[in-house]
Structures are given as structure tokens and as C-alpha cells.
Amino acid sequence: MAKINFGGVVEDVITVEEFSLDKARQVLKDEVVAVIGYGVQGPGQSMNMRDNGINVIVGQAKEFKDDWDRAVKDGWVPGKTLFDIEEAAKKGTIIQMLVSDAAQKAIWPTIKKSMNPGDALYFSHGFSIVYKDQTDVIPPKDVDVILVAPKGSGTSVRRNFLAGSGINSSYAVFQDATGRAEERTLAVGIAIGSGYLFPTTFENEVHSDLVGERGVLMGCLAGVMEAQYNVLRKNGHSPSEAFNETVEELTQSLIRLVDENGMDWMYANCSATAQRGALDWRHKFRDAVAPVFEDLYKSVVTGKETEIVIKANSAPDYKQRLRKELDEIRNSEMWSAGAAVRKLRPSNR
């Protein structure tokens, strides 16, 4: 492990220098990795492993035709590398549970009966294991239970891999039945294209992930953008101006500077007026939203958020309701303005 100083706290991380791709291939040479689910994380992780020379198969329910057809389009061959979920789970020695959290609860009886002693049960989210009282996912004692959680969407996992940069991932071992659980975890983590791997626990992963998604990464970000856009519009600013000042400048300029060299670097590359205002208002925004984040963290840790997810995502009309909610965002004035702005970018004209 490499010891890295993160803001004064020294942590252990794993990079390809400590655990090479050749070592990962050696660890996995006798394994069959069965990727269960070809929805969000499944495509990126499975194709990256395939490109890295790992023996990978995909398990996907045929009734979800879009996902099945996408797998075929991506080169998975029915009867050879693409199977239904039960058959793939029986063939695999490392079974990657990459269906949605609600779907994991539904398919668990099938997965459980398909596993053999010494297999590894792999997750990219601690949800099903940590909230076992709600999901009923309780693994047999004779299998490894491991986790690699990429810190990004499945699309980013694939794009970053193809760009040669990789995406950072956390990893954890919940149950080591074989004595090989950690090396299997690290091998798969490297094989899916992780930039580096940092240790966590199933509990910490799911708590931080659920808070992050509902908070800064998605929920808070969308809500704050809407609030600013609406205030600008209410005060007479055009849709184009409101969107550019709320979203376009952030995504096309400022966030790239943060990515490049940190928040202070972004501030240093903005005007003195922008710097002063941002520094003054930063604390007000932090203090205003801190109570909301406290409520959010409590809701996650107590399992309330899990209950909401399982109930909503298990409903027979879930996809229709989701589409309606996403359409409401897409068809709003703010994001309709965004579509027009994106078309006007030089690369899109």
C-alpha cells in the first residue's frame, strides 16, 4: 500500500504500482466473473474487464429487452458470454451484483441457491449487506463477500478507462471465507480500471454514498441550481442568461478548474470581485445547508432512505413514474434553455 497524506490525515491507497494489472490477471486466471445486471454499472465494469483479458460473462434478465439488446450490441454473445441471471450465477466464481438495490432483494433467492462454497459475492454498493433486515440479503458463511465501489457512474467508469485515466474506487471485505478475499477484491478493482483504490467498510461506503447522491453530487446540486435560476428569472433575467450564469459557466469552465487544481485554484483564476463575493457568501451557504445535511445523514443511517428506495423501486409502475419525474426536469424552462444552450456550443454547431 502507498501512504498518502489527505489534508493532514495519512491514508493507505492501492495503485497499479502496488497491485499491477498483470498481478490482477494472475489472481483471476482461474475465475469466471459473472456480472449480474447490464443496466448502470454492469456495462462499464464488464467491458473494462473483458478488455483487460479477464474471463467475464454477463447475466441479464431477457424480459428487460433494452438491457439485453444493449449487451448483445456491446459484443456479449447469447449462450456463450451472455446468459439469464440464474445460469450466469451458476457459471461464475465471482458473482457481481450490479442490478439495482431493489432488484438485488428480488433476485437474491436465485443468486443464493446458485452459489458454491468458495465463490465470491461482489457488490459495488454496501446497501444490501448493511440493510440486510430490509433486503434479506444474508450471504452463506462459506463465500467471500467483497466490495469495489467506483466513485462515478457506470458511463464514467467506461469513459475514463478508454481515456486511460481510470476512476477512483473504494474497496472493502465483509466476509473472508477463503483467505483470498482481499486479493480477489483488489484484482477486480484493478481489472475494472480503478485509478486508485482506498479502503472502507460496507457501512461507511453506503452511508457516504447515499448522503453524497442526495446531497452535493445530485440532489443538492439540482436544487441549488433551480433556486438560483428561479430567482434570476423572477428578477427579469432571460432564460439564456439565467442558465449560463447558473449551469453553463459551472460545467464548462469553473468546475474544470476545480478538477485541475482545487477550489483555491478556481478562485485564483476568477476576478477579484468574484473572489470577494464567493469567499463572503461561502460560509452563509455552508451554515444554511448544514442542518439539512445533518437530517440527511440521520435518515441514511437509520435506514429510512433504504426503506423509501426499496418501496419505490419495487413498485410495478416504478419506471413509468421515474420517466414522468425525469421528464418534468427535462421539460422545465431551465433545462429546456439548457438544451438550447448546448446546441449553440461551437462543437455542436
Phi, psi (deg, nearest 5) at residue 76? -85, 130
Establish whether 125 is a catalytic residue: yes
* Cα–Cα dist 60/201, whole Å: 28
The string of DSSP codes covering 181-250 is HHHHHHHHHHHTTEEEEEE--HHHHHHHHHHHHHTTTTHHHHHHHHHHHHHHHHTT--HHHHHIIIIIHI
Spatial neighbors of 272 by CB under 8 A, at least 6 apart, are none
Q: Could you say which of 125, 207, 237, 283 is catalytic? A: 125
User: What residue type is 285 in one-letter code?
Assistant: F
Looking at the chain, the number of H-run helices and the number of E-run strands are 19, 10
- Specify the DSSP element, H or E, that contains 21: helix 21-27
Cα separations (Å) of 249 from 79, 80, 301? 48, 47, 35
Name the grid cell of 99: 442490478
Catalytic residues: 125
